[in-house]
Structure 1
Amino acid sequence: MSSEPSAVVADGAALKGRSGLVRIWYACGYSLAGLRAAYAGEAAFRQLVWLSLLLIPLALLLDVSRVERAVLIAVVFLALIVELLNSAIEATVDRISFELHPLSKQAKDMGSAAQLLALCLIGLVWAVILIP
Structure 2
Amino acid sequence: MRRGSLLASFAYAAQGVRYALRTQRNMRIHAAAAVVVITAAALLHLSWGRWVVLLLAITLVMAMELMNTALESVVDLASPEIHPLAKAAKDTAAGAVLLAAIFAVVAGVIVFYRPFMDLLGLGG
Measure, in 2, the Cα distance between the counterparts of 1:127 and 1:68.
Answer: 11
Offset of 1:113 from its aligned partner? 0.5
Q: Confirm or deny: 8 A CA contact 1:79 1:118 kept in the other structure.
A: yes
Q: CA RMSD in A?
A: 1.7
Q: Name the SS for the 2:73 alignment partner.
A: helix
Measure, in 2, the Cα distance between the counterparts of 1:85 and 1:78.
Answer: 10
The answer on 1:78 being equivalent to 2:70 is no
What TM-score, normalized by structure 2, do the two folds share?
0.83
Cα deviation code 1:83-122 (max 9, x no counterpart) = 0000101000001122111111111011110111111011
Cα deviation code 1:113-132 (max 9, x no counterpart) = 01111110111111122224
Deviation beyond 6 Å, 4+ runs, structure 1: none
- 1:36 counterpart residue number: 18
Q: Name the SS for the 2:46 alignment partner.
A: coil
Aligned counterparts, 1:14-53, within 5 A: 18=4, 23-53=5-35
Q: Confirm or deny: 8 A CA contact 1:39 1:46 kept in the other structure.
A: yes
Whichever structure has more helix as a proportion of its residues is 2
Give the structure, 1 or 2, with the largest relative contact order (CA under 8 Å, sep 6 or more).
2
Structure 2 gap segments, 5+ residues each = 115-124
- 1:126 counterpart residue number: 108
Identity of aligned residues (%): 29
In our comparison, the structure showing a higher alpha carbon Rg is 1
Structure 1 gap segments, 5+ residues each = 1-16
1:52 partner letter: A
The answer on 1:87 being equivalent to 2:72 is no
